[in-house]
A and B are shown apart, each in its own frame.
Chain A
Amino acid sequence: MPGILMRRLGSVALTLFIASLVVFATMDLLPGNAAAILLGTAARPDTIAALEQQLGLDQPAYIRYFTWILGAFTGDLGQSASYGVSVGGLIAERLVVTLPLAALALIIAVGIGVPMGVAAAARWRQTPDRVASGFAQVGIAIPDFWFGLLLILIFSTSLQWFSAGGFPGWATPLDAIKALLLPAFALALPQAAILTRVTRSAVLDVLGDDFIRTAQAKGLSETRILWRHAVRNALVPIVTIIGLQFSFLIAGAVLVENVFNLPGIGRLAYQALSQRDLVVIRSVAMFFAGLVILVNFLVDLSYLWLDPRLRARR
């Protein structure tokens, strides 16, 4: 077991190292630099050079790379060129919006998608299946940001139950959750649709297996067969998808964040990229890479828990 773990950690470190090189190089190759952007269209070359020096942009690439990596180990990711505050603080500020939003969206997606998929499989080619398949079709077809606009139109502009966007901060927790509710639903709809499909086909697969017939022959109740035997055995693909969805909800929510004007990490990444605030975008990109690796790792671990056969093999 320790051997496996060490190998595992080694490959994680290697992946992160390669990712850091790729991220640094691609960001450095982008045209444009933060100093010229900050000084605008009236500035003269000598002023831009002065700011480049101040921001450390005039140093050679390898020095900037190692400053960044060494800084990361000591917890200092540098200062944002445009905001003038520490990058770590900037990312943390955004995570208090993005993590709860992603978690809420995932809860909603799982809450809708899994029961619907199971119902569809249990009543294959009957009304629940048709309803679920219709929902999945529509849900996958509707882009999340467009659904968000629709929610704003109904619940904010017309009914005025919710504010149309923005985030009041966690000082007022109820308001904060209220502000995240509509965007969470908008994000959750397509994910719920995907989960419905995956759950349906995974459970259907298992329902066709021999041991289900054995269970039926044993006289077990239908509910028990469905939840204890079929769903339990269909969980591996479902959990895999949920893991992917969580990474997506954190890194890929930028359009929904824009529609609801939420200060999430997706918008930070977009803003930093357009301002060529490389110090920020590098660290955000590495955060995303680390997150995907971590979530994959957790999903792998969950397989061990879900499927005793895997445990026995180790």
Chain B
Amino acid sequence: MSNMRTGLRGAVAALAILSSVAYASAKDTLTLGLPIEPTGLDPTISAPVAIREVTWGNIYEGLVTLDKDGQIKPLLATEWTVSDDGLTYTFKLRPDVKFHNGTAFDSSIVKFSLDRARADDSTNAQKQFFEPIESIETPDPLTAVIKLKAPTGLFVYHLAWGDAVMVDPKTVETNKTDPVGTGPFKFKSWQRGDRVEVVRNDDYWESGVPKLSSVTFRFIGDAPAQAAALRAGDVDAFPNFTAPELYGEFESDDRFNVVPGKTPRKLVAALNNSKAPFDNVKVRQAMMSAIDRQTVIEGAYSGYGIAIGSHYAPTDPGYLDLTGVLPYDPQKAKDLLTEAGYPDGFTVSMKCPQMTYTTRACEVMQAMLSEIGVTMNIEASEFPAKWIDEVFIKHDYEMSIIDHAEPMDIDIYSRPTYYFLYKNPAFNELIEKAAVNSEEAERSKLYGEAQKILANDVPALYLFDLPRLNIWSKKLEGLWENEPISQVYVRDAYWAE
């Protein structure tokens, strides 16, 4: 008996040593924490960022993609040409691409995916991206010809969004719970409330990719729980850590890489431009001049974040730093208010979502606005449900605050019913011109002009670009620090020896 026990003990010890050796030499799995669990796993039927973080570029792929600098790169299309009139886009498709279920990717898939996104009953959150399409022709399996109704400058850029991924007609009904794409990882399981697991797609079209054999996305909403999970080694990486006040503690921990990155998420305090007093540009300028953006960044995000002067993120192509147009100047703010006929200020209600950073930003702004005689009453507005209903859809608000996560979305100010209710024909004309221009340099110039108009006119108060608070193990390579568009790309991640 005692002999047997010794033998067993020896075997167990040997196994333990063997397995720890194997573990040390070739760790090829990744556990990555995300703050929000996705609602379904199909980015073509709903908007939440969390869906894209898990699926996009990892499970699903589009014709093109954005690289880490926000530049358009070929993906399932290898190249494309645009006709001189800007109306015909001819895409050459990558050969030998298969969906995870074996379906071959060809031009019929392109036609199906894009037609579905622009159909009458489409529930694509960015349906307007696909509406310029007149028709899609498929002369051969590896060529797709897309004809547009009018030239559309950002057409290919929008095809790089998660809303434009390629889907197999056979799985569109089930993609929400059992996603099938062409990406480097295949869906394995979803333990709702806790984790999604994906495993390597061994038939991926690019050999040697991906390097990891599996990735587990774990959903941890509570900020102290995120910190605890990192410290306890439960997760290897947390690219979107949500507690800026705890971020500094990780900077001094030599197990982690702690580098704040840039995002397209612009924190903007909306003003209702259709109602007094914010229908008066002088009042809006006074509001902007009363606010010290750096103090808002300190108060709301512990000093991480980049001040912005317009509705344009530092990650977007053609970004101009316009924070100098209406800098912090309380005296000027008071003068502007007097000129506008409000020498004693006024009282305004602020519908403030319950997130920590929006609440803090509201409190800081409240203090700064009181300096110029403006009394801002903060009213909690539950996000997303109540906020979307009251502020976004019914426009029942005076002031509000939210981060706009979409990149290159300056055109929302030209939409007549968008909740800012801003009306400026000159601005709309610029946006229209930019929209039909396929020359990137010219387009950037036009968007530059548009940025300047907003920086002067301030239909909303431009506060700062939310940072991406990256924390991951020092040995982990290949994750992106910046996100030009909301996405967590694990395709190129690997463990350094």
A: which residues have CB within 8 A of B? 30-33, 36-44, 46-47, 50-51, 53-54, 82-85, 90, 93-94, 97, 149, 152-153, 156-157, 160, 162-167, 169, 258-264, 267-268, 271, 274-276
Contact = CB atoms under 8 A, between A and B. Distances in A.
A84 B192 CA distance: 11
B225 interface: yes
A31 B409 contact: no
A261 B127 contact: no
A40 B47 contact: yes
Contact of A152 (B122, B176, B228): B228
Most B CB atoms within 10 A — which of A44, A264, A267?
A44
A260 B225 contact: yes
B193 A263 contact: yes
Contact of A85 (B124, B177, B228): B177
Q: 5 shortest A-B CB distances, which residue pairs?
A: A263-B193, A40-B47, A32-B385, A82-B39, A164-B228
Given A43-B127, A258-B222, 14 more contacts: A32-B385, A36-B393, A40-B46, A41-B392, A42-B126, A44-B127, A83-B40, A156-B231, A164-B225, A165-B225, A165-B229, A166-B195, A166-B234, A261-B229
Nearest to B412: A42
A31 B386 contact: yes
A157 B231 contact: yes
B266 to A, nearest CB: 12
A153 B221 CA distance: 18
A36 B121 CA distance: 15
B191 A169 contact: yes
Nearest to A84: B176
Given A32-B388, A42-B409, A263-B194, A50 B122 contact: yes
B125 A39 contact: yes
A251 B195 CA distance: 22
Contact of B46 (A38, A85, A157, A166): A38
Contacts of B191: 93, 167, 169, 263
B54 to A, nearest CB: 13
A43 B124 CA distance: 8
A261 B220 contact: yes
Most A CB atoms within 10 A — which of B120, B125, B382?
B125
B389 interface: yes
Most A CB atoms within 10 A — which of B37, B233, B385, B389?
B385
A280 to B, nearest CB: 11
Nearest to A54: B123
A40 B389 contact: no
B423 interface: no
A138 to B, nearest CB: 22
B388 A41 contact: yes
24 contacts: A31-B386, A33-B385, A38-B48, A39-B46, A39-B123, A41-B402, A42-B406, A43-B47, A47-B123, A47-B124, A47-B125, A51-B123, A83-B192, A157-B232, A164-B229, A164-B234, A167-B193, A169-B191, A258-B225, A260-B225, A261-B219, A261-B220, A268-B193, A274-B382
Nearest to A265: B193
Contacts of B48: 38, 40
B324 interface: no
Given A39-B125, A54-B123, A167 B47 contact: no
Contact of B218 (A40, A85, A166): A166
A259 B232 contact: no
Contacts of A164: 225, 228-229, 231-232, 234
A36 B228 contact: no
B224 A259 contact: yes
Most B CB atoms within 10 A — which of A33, A38, A162, A267?
A38
A250 to B, nearest CB: 15
Contacts of B126: 42-43
B229 A274 contact: no
B390 interface: yes
